[in-house]
Structure 1
Amino acid sequence: MLVVWKNRRRSCLTVCPVAEFFAPTGMTPVFPSLTFPNHYSIVTGLYPESHGIVANSFYDPDLNASFSLSSSQQTNPVWWIGDPLWYDVKRQGKISATCFWPGSDQTDPVREPNYWLQYDDTVTYSERMRQVFDWLILPVSQRPNFLTVYLDEPDHTGHGESPDSPLVADQVRIVDQELQVLFDNMEQAGILGCVDLIVLADHGMAPSPPGEKFLIMNEYVPNILNDARIYDGVFPTIRPKLDTEEEHDRIAGGLQCQDENMRVYNKWDFPRRHHYANTNRIPNILVDMTVSWRAYAKSEWILPGNHGWDNLNSEMQAMFVAHGPSFKKNTEVRPFHNIDLYNLMCAMIGVDPSPNNGTWGALHHMLVSPPIDPSPEPLNPISKLPFPADEETYNAHLMRQKCNLLIGSNTQSIDSTLNLTEEIANATLQVHAPWGTPQTKDTTQIKAVISSDYVAAFDVVSGLPSWTSYTIYQPRLATVQPQWRLDVRLEATHASICDRFPDGIDSTWSAVPLFPFGTPSNSADVAVDTNAIEISKPFETYWNEFHAMLNSSVESNGETNVIVGPVRDSPSSGLFFIVSTCRSVGVALAECSVDQLDMQSFIMPTNVRYSRDCIKFTAFFNAHLASLPDVEHLTGIRFFPSLSYGDKADILSRTPLASTLLVNPDPSTL
């Protein structure tokens, strides 16, 4: 049984009388931290860009129609994408029931639950609890295997009074009493110990004080309401009516850098951890507001409490409580993504999950008897690019495509540092890839290039690095402008950066080394073109600051592994970083237990279109934090392949809130 207690923040968690398992650190909602997107993510395991409910109100240009909470459109199946759990349960021969869960009353008789109620806010909580109890005591052949109930307090009161109002506390007590009546009835019926109960919130809430902490967009872009379709407030989205690049730039340019509490993004530059771009229902201009701040088109509308801000804000974290025969007792768990609940519930009910964005096994540590972990995926070895065997081959490799980027010289003496013996190459792999070489789906065109200070995988067809991995033990000076030259391990037919820029890189771009720490003894290894990646000139400052921040962390933590590579899943290029160290003092990374492994990941856009001149370094790195599943999802690369399935699920289940290795992940601390 799944009970949503709307907007019960982790900070107002009081232990339910029957709860013996709880997560006081909270559960991370999907972005935006709004009602309908999160309810549907919980029961599908999908991000809003995948399930289609991208906000409480939005416009679909392909349908030429609008969706909103108050519109009759909300029951139209065309809006709801993906398979909700009640449908999985029903089509696999079991029984499901929903009491007012968003999406369950869509007009599709095939996908609707076995039992469901049309939403009616006049139905009291007592009546809802009675309906739930009546379903629970049906004969076994008719009894639901999966059941949900929706309670809209204390969210309603929090919006009208602010989340810190005593009236909100009153509503918490009222709902708590209604739940207690249900639990008492279940106990009297002898079924309390037979039901797995999850009580959770869909999101948190923060104050949005009337008359302060808001901006009026019309003051920066006159007539903006006439020129664009806008959904304003805590997370404004803007769709210019004239769909041209110039008009997008005019409106976004007028808003950018007007206030430090308002950050304007092209959606493809928006933090990738939000997975909020890949659908036409999301317009190209997105406005990120500091928590408690709002931006309105022409005038303020009053809501003393609100939600929808960055889901890593502490105020947006949601409550999670669970109790029942399947759950461990008296156990605290770290924060987790709410999309992972879908796979957990599928495992508990015994149904096969539909395709989803969550991680199978991520929450199995909550269970007394978790499912048996599947076998880890087999390792696909990557063939190494060998050093030319003789002078003739060496000279043939030098016939590869060149460009004005390559100003360094190739000589056999300089290039000899790339000629590693098999023994040294294998030892280098163990140092710089302590959890095995990251795995790509297609190994035919991905080749390993091994240097003394780093290992990398290179796509010889596209000419792009796939990933570069290195381990450092002390701070090192980063090299920004090496004397680039050909990597003679590539054959003449292989592609590289010069094939992407045959005329050379112009003044708007820079080529930087993915492994940037050159020394007199290895400077030749740093300067080979397989180590080069292009970034925009404005991103150079972020690149330099990141490596300064990395050095500071290495000075504090010692041995540190970094995996870095390009992200090419969208019109906006990016770079990912996975930085890992061991909390256990004196323990090598390769020997570090997973519970002591500290890891922080980033996915950074390298050619930010808007607001790039007014976002501070700390805010930029905080915004572009990511989880490991985010990186794997966007790159198609499988990291930490030598870990057991359970250990890998452990690190995949971590949200960005799990680490402060390089930056504090909570935006409200900035």
Structure 2
Amino acid sequence: MWRFVLSFILFLQVSVFSFAQDNQKNYVILISLDGFRYDYVERFQPKNLSQFIKEGTAAKGLIPSFPSKTFPNHYTIATGMKPEHHGLVDNNFWNPEKNKQYSISNREVVTDGTWYGGTPLWVLAEQNEMKSASYFFVGSEADVQGIRPSYYYDYDGNVPNLTRISKVFEWLQLPESERPQMITMYFSDMDDTGHRYGPNNGEQLKKTLDRLDHELGALFEGVASFDLPVHIVIVSDHGMVDVPKENLLNLTELTEGINARVVNSGALAHIHLNDPSEKKKVIQLIESRGNHIHVVDVADREYYKDLSLHADLMGDLLIMPDLGYYLADERGMFRYQNRSAMNKTDVFGEHGYSPDYQEMQGIFYAKGPQIKEGLVIEPFENYHIYPLICKILGLPVPDGIDGKLEVLAPILK
């Protein structure tokens, strides 16, 4: 009889514990390590990130959306939608309807929610009476659908990483009714160093990564001290590739005399023709002026696959340099020369190229009560992260997103 009673009490304890776990509020901290290439952890073996990976799930790579630029891909991760669907089709692009250019350096447009489609995770949380917070993430400063996170900061790259981390601890110590369950963070360290020295400068990258890893270790340790079911998801927006100084291509010379608006540079330039019927002639002209480039008709859907929503933002033509080559206007050419002298290197790091290149792949690492341990998965497209976070937080998945829960459902316990 006593064995039956003991078993029944044990059953009750387990059932109550399970019920409490099932009904406990989950938390997600989504961390972006800008420009963190898929192979950096394997190459440099950072202590805290390596341990984090062992205790959770890691992808062999995270495939960015086109173009593999910072703003489009951060917002894709935040909304579960490709750039061609959420509307941030590049870091810089022209909107004919607004008669205005979106530029990541223009604070007025960056904080204007009318540029941003979709429903970012923090907006979805707030719409479902869940507090959210952001210490930087693309779109979090804007009033998307008239909503911002309950707690957020306007971007300031000079804010020390440890200041950002300590604020997260403060948020997690708030009373439950005020405590954010959806938190985003952003660190630019690896992107900054990768751009300055290229992704193959092991000495400079390791120095930066060691410091960042130490700071992330403080975050991991601090979060673990809270008696809360916190899930940490670490991502990056893109990878990086070496661009030798001699591989710079003069965009001004390539487009001289063409009757068009030329927007952006780097791995992608958008050409808005005054007369779209001149497409073939302009393609032939530009391609005759230089090597290591090809000009793409946007209507061919080679890169932006769906033109039903935002074709007017993409232009008529795209100038695409080969991997490891980079477009720069006259001012940009001068700026790169100065960078070369200042950093004492003739090699830079860049991104923005087709997601088909492995060098453009980023990272996905996740750990938490619902995440399987010691699991390694194949690379996947970054828009699938959104429904995973919705599932962990118990949020409804909006209609019309590109992400599919079944892609990452196998990583859940």
TM-score, normalised to structure 1, is 0.52
Distance 1:162 1:362, change over 3 A: same
Equivalent runs, 1:189-200 vs 2, <5 Å: 189-191=226-228, 194-200=229-235
Match of 1:365 in 2: 410
After superposition, give the CA deviation of every residue in 1:535-579 in whole Å (9 maximum; x if it has no partner): xxxxxxxxxxxxxxxxxxxxxxxxxxxxxxxxxxxxxxxxxxxxx
CA displacement, residues 392-443 of structure 1 (integer Å, 9 cap, x when unaligned):
xxxxxxxxxxxxxxxxxxxxxxxxxxxxxxxxxxxxxxxxxxxxxxxxxxxx
Structure 2: any 5+ residue segments left out of the alignment? 1-28, 340-347
Q: Does 1:91 align with 2:127?
A: yes
| Partner in structure 1 of residue 34 of structure 2 | 6
Q: Which amino acid is the alignment partner of residue 138 of structure 2? A: P
Give the distance between the partners of 1:234 and 1:244, measured in 2 at CA: 23
Q: 1:5 to 1:218 in 2, by over 3 A?
A: closer
What is the rounded CA distance, in whole Å, between the counterparts of 2:386 and 2:52 in structure 1? 23
Q: Please state how far the C-alpha of 1:187 moved relative to its aligned partner.
A: 2.6
> Could you tell me how far apart the structure 2 residues matched to 1:42 and 1:22 are?
18
Q: Are 2:267 and 1:234 equivalent residues in the alignment?
A: yes
Distance 2:325 2:237 in 1: 21
Aligned residue runs from structure 1 range 418-429, under 5 A: none
SS at match of 2:282: helix
Aligned residue type for 2:66: F
| Equivalent residues of 1:100, 1:117 under 8 A apart | yes
Q: Is the 8 A contact 1:230 1:297 kept in 2?
A: no
Classify the secondary structure of the residue corresponding to 1:208: strand
Which position in structure 2 is the counterpart of 1:127?
163
After superposition, residues 27-38 of structure 1 pair within 5 angstroms as 27-38=62-73
Structure 1 residue 189 displacement after superposition: 3.5
CA contact (8 A) 1:231 1:238 kept: no
Whole-Å Cα distance in 2 between the matches of residues 78 and 90 of structure 1?
18
After TM superposition, give the deviation of residue 179 of structure 1 in Å: 0.8
What secondary structure sits across from 2:193 in the alignment? helix
Kept in 2, the 8 Å contact 1:17–1:180? The answer is no
How many residues align? The count is: 362
For the residue of structure 2 that corresponds to 1:322, the secondary structure is: strand
Higher relative contact order (CA 8 A, sep 6+): 2
Residue in structure 2 matched with residue 117 of structure 1 by the alignment: 153
- Describe how 1:474-553 pairs up with structure 2 within 5 A: none
Aligned 8 A contact 1:16 1:176 in 2: no
- 5+ residue gaps, structure 1: 369-670
> Once the two structures are superposed, what CA deviation does each residue of 1:185-207 show, in whole Å capped at 9, x if it has no partner?
2233344xx21111111110111
Verify: 1:348 aligned to 2:348, yes or no: no
Paired with 1:232 and 1:88, the residues of 2 have a C-alpha distance of: 34
Is 1:164 the counterpart of 2:195? The answer is: no
TM-score normalised per structure 2: 0.82
Structure 1 or 2, whichever has the larger Rg, is: 1
Deviation (angstroms), 1:59: 1.1
Matched, 1:142 2:186: no
- Could you tell me whether the CA contact under 8 Å between 1:235 and 1:287 is conserved in 2? yes
CA distance in 2, matches of 1:51, 1:262: 28
* Contact 2:57–2:411 (8 Å) recurs in 1: no
Q: What letter matches 2:30 in structure 1? A: L
- Where 1:363 maps in the other structure, the secondary structure is helix
The answer to whether 1:290 aligns with 2:326 is no
Report the Cα offset of residue 257 of structure 1.
Answer: 5.9
Contact 1:257 1:263 in 2 (8 A): no
Residues 33 and 234, structure 2, Cα contact 8 Å, conserved in 1:
yes
Q: Which has the higher helix share?
A: 2
Residue 74 of structure 2 corresponds to residue 39 of structure 1:
yes
1:328 partnered with 2:361: no
1:183, distance to aligned residue in structure 2 (A): 1.4
Take 2:103 and 2:253, find their aligned partners in 1: how far apart are those partners? 27
Partner Cα separation in structure 1 for residue 225 and residue 305 of structure 2: 44
The C-alpha deviation readout for 1:91-128, integer Å capped at 9, x for no partner, is 11211111111101114684111111111222110100
Residue 32 of structure 1 and its aligned partner are, at CA, apart by: 0.5
1:221 Cα offset (Å): 4.8
1:609 matched to which residue of 2?
A: none
Q: Which moved further from structure 2: 315-324 or 260-269?
A: 260-269
In the TM superposition, what are the counterparts of 1:99-498 in structure 2 within 5 Å? 99-107=135-143, 110-165=146-201, 166-191=203-228, 194-210=229-245, 212-224=246-258, 227-240=260-273, 242-246=274-278, 248-256=279-287, 261-271=292-302, 275=306, 278-279=309-310, 280-298=312-330, 300=333, 301-302=335-336, 304-355=348-399, 356-368=401-413
In the TM superposition, residue 260 of structure 1 has moved relative to its aligned partner by: 5.8
Aligned partners of 1:31 and 1:274 also within 8 Å:
no
